[in-house]
Structure 1
Amino acid sequence: MNVKNNILETIGNTPLIRLNKIVKDLPCEVYAKVEYFNPGNSTKDRMALKMVEVAEKEGKLKPGGTIIECTSGNTGMGLAMAAVVKGYKCIFTTTDKQSQSKVDILRALGAEVIVCPTNVEPEDPRSYYSVASRLNKEIPNSFHFNQYDNLANRLAHYETTGPELWEQTDGKITHFVATAGTGGTVTGTAQFLKEKNPNIQVWAIDVEGSLLTKYFRTGEVDMNEVHPYISEGFGEDFVPGNYDMSVIDYFEQVSDKDGAVVARRLAREEALFCGYSSGSALQGLFQLKDKLKKNDVVVVLLCDHGSRYVAKVYNDQWMAERGFFDVKTFKDVVNARGKQRLITLEPTQSVAEAVELMKKYDIEHIPVIKDSELVGSISESGLFQRVFHNPDIKTERVDRVMDAAFPIVGLDTPVEKIGTLINKENGAVLAKDESGNFHIVTKYDVLQALA
């Protein structure tokens, strides 16, 4: 029978998938190395297993021992799987900027997870680096893997990821693009590919707020480059020991916003539901498209799965709160929809007339206006409750049953701001144009604008 002895034997040999719609503006073929096909849904499964195997061989990890590691989640997943299969305990330290779903997944596999503050120096005793080191000293028969300086990290990619790419492209690969974090993936893969063909370009994608790009360009560790960023799983505030900058040809930084936006595009345009760093890797390639030629064969490594970012990158409210949607205004929404005559009511009209207008124009919200001034509003949901409890209310005047007037904003108000004004009690927002005419934007309009 064709079976695996355990889940660890399914790590690696992930597919190479052609990108189509999202790269239509690039001059060459672009392929995605989709690493979420690993059992732990990320490329980190490779190095986690390798680090365990090397630690066992060297006698650093003994039977019944405790695995200790600081992780953004994905390395922890790989280590936790290995611990379950091989019979180890796991304690992970992580930062408070990581997705809660990542923490929950690690705990589901039996690991203990300690959440530490993000915005502290690596040497700070509260940092997730320092806490892991302290636990290693305090807990007998434990081993701190330190993926940043543990060279088994890059060895895993030298032995697996690099050879897979060479074989899958028949040796035709000209560019390898991957995000830069611990350095293991980009360095290990690059070392193998450069041995096969030193002309292969290796492009490392960094995040704004990380010091790696400046270090690559100048050799200087400049802490002034470091500032908080939202992107997860790559970028660093120090230089891990896994880096061999000689096999990397270029570093490119991307913004938090651009990485998140492109991750969402990958899902909608290619049906590849990937994580934050995957969008960032592809955005870095977009920024470097002028360096590409027609016959190039580019491989972009997509590190992990989008399921770990459902509450963040794939949550519209989270994106809107951070201004990550393309800025659209009230005026943009109205223009895109097509300017239409605003349906209004006068205070003296009946509830029955309001209901007829809603049916005729298929609308849910109607402003009540008197002498060109907004005095109230009628909404389908509010009317439904009133009519349900008292059918005779249909003969009442509108001003006796109307709700408060919809908020009035400027035409240049961003859609994200409009979204915060629309809630269960208030379903629309109004604005006046240069001619003094009112226009309306509803919850449905906002959702369409952010889609």
Structure 2
Amino acid sequence: MLPPITDGISESIGLTPMVRLTTENKVNILAKLEFTNPTGSGKDRLAKYILDQHEKKNPFESRDSTAKRTLIIPTTGNLGISLATLAAKRKYRIIAIIPERTSNDRIALLKALGVEILRSPNEVRPEAPESAYSVATKLAEQLTDAAVMDETKLRDLTAYHDLAEEILQQTKLAVDYVFVGVESGATLTGIAQYLKKKIPGVKVIGVEPTESILSDKEHHRVTRSDWKIEDMGSNFMPISLDSSLVDEWIKVSDQEAYSSARRLIKEQGILCGPSSGAVMAAAARHAASTSSDHSTHTFQSVVILNDSCKNYTCTLLSDDWLFENNLADDLITSELEYVSQNRYRAASVEDLQLPAAVTISPASLVSYALDLMLEREYSQLPVINNSNRKLVGYISMASLQDNLDRGNVQLSDTVESCMFAFKKGGVSSNKYQVITPDTSLADLATKYDLISFLHRRQFL
């Protein structure tokens, strides 16, 4: 049945799908796709709950209509995005205090949502004056009608009981292990509270970065806490984490997390982020070590995939960034090197054996440009200034025909009137890349001439 029309995206939160990923060493691994929530994160559940609770305690009717309603959020990104999205129609002022490791994609999204952003150091302790938590407290004291939304201090985790109930229903109570990435501990604690009442034998496994101290019983600070995995790990023990509910901890390196996420994207079509990769890496490692001497019983593991790759285009989805930060394991490295180098055998644009370039003047008639493209079977023509031989733009067959059909352009018009122009000083957003005979073919993926070349070399 199709979902009903709603009055806001908050009503679309939850009821996320579960996908069977693999069976390894008599362990079925099922993925709970929390990143399919409206903003691409499982934090939507928490954001909806704490925002509703906040408004119950602070009803709008009792407030001065001229007062600024401000939410201050110390967050790695996702909770800020979720709260800002859900509060978009409620006229809040949102201030997010985020660590330096937060991806530029999520910063851009927060800015688009109108969020004011402050940055905090990655490794700073919570009690330090420059920490996100200290800054949030100071701001709340200085601003009128402001509230801090700090998930690390939450004790009411009802928001995640619905998630636990969905897991029970989707697995029909047949679940042995649940793997949860831990940052504030709210997700793990809320799930574990509910599941352990329904299935006493279920094991809840916490996943954290190698340098995180959440599993350290002595809570010692490690020498390095500047890990790359976002939305996971901590250098202090949050109040919202009930460690007594954690049956086992598994630490995952940055490289394992990012490489596992890339494999899920490529091999399973699961468009998840790095913290999801970390949880999957932990579950796979656990499955490989699980004893298979228990007759015919097949264990069932559920992994909570909490984040979407769409918020990490400049990090997780960037091959260059992965290499620069040594986050591609041997398998991912070999695959990327094949695509970027070996597949084309170091061939360059010169190997395409292209004919001499055909150009057109801005003063040429549209009719001439159209005839030239039809005759040569070109989809585009570069437009060159006759006086200085500089590239000033290009004309497209598809765009030209569309404009002719709509009556926006006449055959007697000049090319200059309908070309895509390259202007200086940022006036136009149209950009082009200079290609020389030495340019690697790896930079020309999806180009028609490249596809023809690959057919000639029998690569396709």
2:107 aligns with 103
Q: 1:89 aligns with which of 85, 88, 93?
A: 93
Q: By how many angstroms is 1:240 displaced?
A: 0.7
Partner of 1:11: 13
Distance verdict in 2 for CA 1:382–1:142, change over 3 Å: same
Matches within 5 A, 1:36-435: 36-59=35-58, 65-152=69-156, 154-158=157-161, 160-214=162-216, 219-224=217-222, 226-289=224-287, 290-291=289-290, 293=292, 294-327=297-330, 364=347, 380=350
Q: CA deviation at 1:243?
A: 1.1
**Partners of 2:315 and 2:321 within 8 A in 1:** yes
Change (3 A) 1:88 1:424: same
TM-score by length of 1: 0.71
Q: How far is 1:443 from its partner? A: 6.7
CA distance in 1 between partners of 2:108 and 2:326 (Å): 27
In the alignment, what sits opposite 2:448? none
Judged with a 3 Å threshold, the aligned counterparts in structure 2 of structure 1 residues 3 and 93 are, in CA distance, closer, same or farther, namely same
Q: Alpha-carbon deviations, 1:117-154, whole Å to 9, x = none? A: 223232232222222121111111000011111224x2
Aligned equivalents of 2:357, 2:347: Cα separation in 1:
15
CA deviation digits over 1:148-195, x for unaligned, max 9?
A: 11224x22102x111111111111111111101110111100110000
Aligned counterparts of 2:159 and 2:350: Cα–Cα separation in 1 = 60
Mark the CA change 1:55 to 1:296 in structure 2 (over 3 Å): closer, same or farther. Answer: same
Distance 1:319 1:291, change over 3 A: same
1:5 and 1:125 mapped to 2: Cα distance?
41
Whole-Å Cα distance in 1 between the matches of residues 356 and 199 of structure 2? Answer: 75
1:426 is displaced (CA, Å) by: 10
Aligned length: 354
Separation in 1, partners of 2:346, 2:197: 65
Alpha-carbon distance between aligned partners in 2 of 1:3 and 1:383, rounded to the nearest angstrom: 56
Task: Give % identity.
Answer: 28
Q: Distance in 1 between matches of 2:78 and 2:116?
A: 15
SS in 2 for 1:212: coil
Range 105-114 or range 275-284, more displaced: 105-114
Post-superposition shift, 1:60?
A: 8.9
After TM superposition, the runs of 4+ consecutive aligned structure 1 residues lying more than 4 A away are 60-64, 381-388, 423-428, 442-445
Residues 250, 88 of structure 1: alpha-carbon distance in 2 compared, 3 angstrom cutoff: same
Kept after mapping to 1: 8 A contact 2:211/2:222: no
Compare 66-75 and 283-292 and name the one that shifted more.
283-292
Pair 1:268–1:26, CA change in 2 (3 A): farther
Scaled by the length of structure 2, what TM-score is found?
0.70
Q: How has the CA–CA distance of structure 1 residues 175 and 292 changed in structure 2, closer, same or farther, with 3 Å as cutoff?
A: farther
Measure how far apart 1:258 and its partner are.
Answer: 0.5
State the secondary structure of the residue aligned to 2:201.
coil
What SS does the aligned partner of 2:230 have?
coil
CA-to-partner distance for each residue in 1:360-384, whole Å, 9 max, x for gaps? x99746xxxxxxxxxxxxx828998
Query: How far 1:227 moved relative to its partner?
Result: 2.3
Q: CA deviation at 1:264?
A: 0.5
SS where residue 110 of structure 2 aligns?
Answer: helix
Paired amino acid for 1:11: I
Describe the superposition over 1:347-404 as per-residue Cα deviations: whole angstroms up to 9, x where unpaired.
Answer: xxxxxxxxxxxxxx99746xxxxxxxxxxxxx8289989999xxxxxxxxxxxxxxxx
1:15-58 CA distances to partner (integer Å, 9 max, x unpaired)?
11111xxx353422211110122111110000111111222233
Root mean square deviation of aligned Cα: 3.3
Equivalent residue of 2:215, what SS?
A: helix
Specify the code of the residue in structure 2 equivalent to 1:37: T
1:194-238 CA-partner distances (Å, limit 9, x unpaired):
000110010110101110121xxxx31101365211110010010
Unaligned runs of 5+ in 2: 359-433, 446-460
